[in-house]
Amino acid sequence: MSDPVILWLRQDLRLHDQPALVAAAHEGPVIPVYILDDAAPGDWAIGGAQRWWLHHTLDAFGAALKEKGSRLILRRGDAIRELHKLCEETGASRIHALRHYEPWWRKAEDALGDRLCLHDGNHLTPVEEVTTGSGGLFKIYSSFWKALATRMPPDTPLPIPRSIPVPAKWPKSDTLARWSLLPTKPDWSGGFDVWTPGEDAARKTAKAFADRVAAYDTDRNLPSIDGSSRLSPHLHMGEISPRDAWALVGGGKAALTFHKELAWRDFTHGVIIDRPDYADANGREKFDKLKWRRSPKDLEAWQQGRTGYPIVDAGMRQLWTTGWMHNRVRMIAASFLIKHLLIDWREGERWFWDCLVDADFGNNAVNWQWVAGTGVDSNMWGRIMAPLVQSEKFDAAGYIREWVPELAKLPDTVIHDPETAGCRLDAYPKPLIGHREARERALEAGRAAR
């Protein structure tokens, strides 16, 4: 029997379209391993919501491997050290893995040297191959999409290997229970029952979305209906590849908007290749001079969905309850924190990182800087979303009734803006600040920074 090979898994917990698995299975007996390394990311170790998801997806992936006659080895600690230890314990000389672009994983991949064989498979096409005429990475999404589109559709997804060779002896493994990834007291995950982590659920979600993708361009902006794909946490954890999602959802004009959002994910990973500090530093240095407000009270009100702006509060409560927020409402809530409350975008970015089941390092950073206007490709600082107007424009009445029950009995003519309508409820807070006052304060802060 040939020497075993290590399959190092991170955010790629799937059997379909898994180039690293295919290559490893072709080479020899495969030892699949997931290493929980909380130290390597530094301040960006995964948050509570993602830890909940990780527990369940590791459980599902372990069961899928078991059905194939294999198993999942779990280790905790420094990923580089644990991989070297596994090679020594098993006699493996090669490690196969999918390429990742988070700065800590790029550092780990470099440190493993020639022992590591990297494969592309977590993106529509290798991000580093989509370049400008001068050979650099794109800083503007629209230009990136034009270049990427010439390479689409993506390659055909790979099938699951017919068999996964197993080693004569398995190394020791941790147990999921010992990792304590699930919340205990208090257990805040009761509303997470809307999710089913794992590859099977990811593929079912993609197939179901295919039936309504034609309406996606319009419906995705309406919080009160189920118009989102719901694929974001599955894509983030790598339970489904972007190529497979493209294939299952379908091509053509009907799916164009969805394809562009898959491409946005690729684009944001290109940004963090170029700017590894993008989650912590303004993309435009001039905003380093902007004077943010420090208001723990206002920040807490925003986090708890007690701002007095119904659409913002509905979104923040949905986030806390389910680990997810409607995309249109994410923009509104983020804009409110930054422009209305004048609180540093990094405070919101950190909160989303801890609360979102789909919190992706590149996406989270680029999206927050896009809303803030501080990024390399973003709105201007002076674009300040009017939450009350947005709420009515995108027909959020039903959404507000679901997530802000104090307002559930109000008619559509009042529910978006109870304060202006003269409807004051003891159970619902007054707005933290008026829209016009907030807008002027934000514009003045921007002028002062320039």
Strand order in the sheet with 73-76: 73-76, 30-36, 5-9, 95-98, 116-119
pLDDT at 318: 98
pLDDT of amino acid 315: 98
- State the Cα–Cα distance between residues 357 and 378, nearest whole angstrom: 24
Q: Are 83 and 44 in contact (CB under 8 A)?
A: no
Distance CA 239, CA 230 (A): 13
Structure tokens at 29: 């007996």
Residue 397 CB partners (closer than 8 Å, separation 6+): 224, 412, 415, 416
pLDDT tier at 2, thresholds 50, 70, 90 = confident
The pLDDT of residue 427 is 87
How many Å apart are CA 23 and CA 7, to the nearest integer? 9
Cα–Cα distance between 19 and 160 in angstroms, integer?
9
421 has pLDDT over 80: no
Q: Which amino acid is at 32?
A: P
Residues facing residue 6 across a β-bridge: 31, 95
In three-state secondary structure terms, 121 is coil
* pLDDT band at residue 388 under the 50/70/90 scheme: very high
Considering only 7-16, 94-103, 232-241, 423-432, which range has the smallest mean pLDDT?
423-432
The rounded distance, in Å, linking the Cα atoms of 258 and 249 is 9
Domains and CATH numbers, the chain: 1-122 (3.40.50.620), 123-154+198-274 (1.25.40.80), 285-449 (1.10.579.10)
pLDDT score at 1? 59
Can you tell me the mean pLDDT for 286-294? 95
Three-class DSSP category at 28? coil
Phi-psi region of 395 (alpha: psi -120 to 50; beta: other; left: phi over 0): left
State mean pLDDT over 394-422: 92
Lowest mean pLDDT among 2-11, 181-190, 327-336: 181-190
**10 Å Cβ neighbour count for 93?**
13
Active site residues: 261, 264, 292, 327, 345, 368
Residue 371 near residue 331 (C-beta atoms within 8 A): yes
CA–CA separation, 432 and 68 (whole Å): 56
Instruction: Give the total residue count for the chain.
Output: 450
Angle between helices 310-322 and 296-304 (to 10 degrees): 70
Residues 30-62 as b/e (b if ≥16 CB within 10 A, e otherwise) read: bbbbbbbbeebeeebebbbbbbbbbbbbbebbb
Burial class (CB in 10 A: 0-12, 13-18, 19+), 450: exposed
Q: Is residue 423's pLDDT more than 80? A: no
d(CA 13, CA 115): 21
Name the residue among 300, 299, 298, 330 with its Cα closest to residue 314. 330
Percent of the chain past pLDDT 90, that is, above it, reads: 93
The amino acid at 106 = R
> How high is the pLDDT of residue 341?
98
Give me the pLDDT at residue 255, please: 95
What is the band of 424 on the pLDDT scale with cuts at 50, 70, 90? confident
Average pLDDT value for residue range 331-343: 98
Q: What is the mean pLDDT of residues 274-289?
A: 95
Q: What is the pLDDT of residues 77-115, one digit of tens each?
A: 999 999 999 999 999 999 999 999 999 999 999 999 999
Spatial separation of the C-alpha atoms in residues 13 and 236, rounded to whole Å: 10
Cis peptide before 153 (omega within 30 of 0): yes
Considering Cα of 220, then 223, then 226, then 228, what sign does the dihedral take? positive
Task: Name the maximum alpha-carbon separation found in the chain.
Answer: 79
pLDDT at 393 over 80: yes
Q: Which helix (H) or strand (E) holds 222?
A: none
Give the count of beta carbons closer than 10 Å to the beta carbon of residue 223: 28
Question: What single-letter DSSP state applies at residue 152?
Answer: P
- Tell me the pLDDT of the chain averaged across its residues: 96
- What is the value of pTM for the model shown? 0.96
Of the candidate ranges 18-32, 66-80, 368-382, the one whose mean pLDDT is the lowest: 368-382
What are 156's two structure tokens? 């055909």
User: Do 307 and 301 form a contact (C-beta atoms < 8 A)?
Assistant: yes
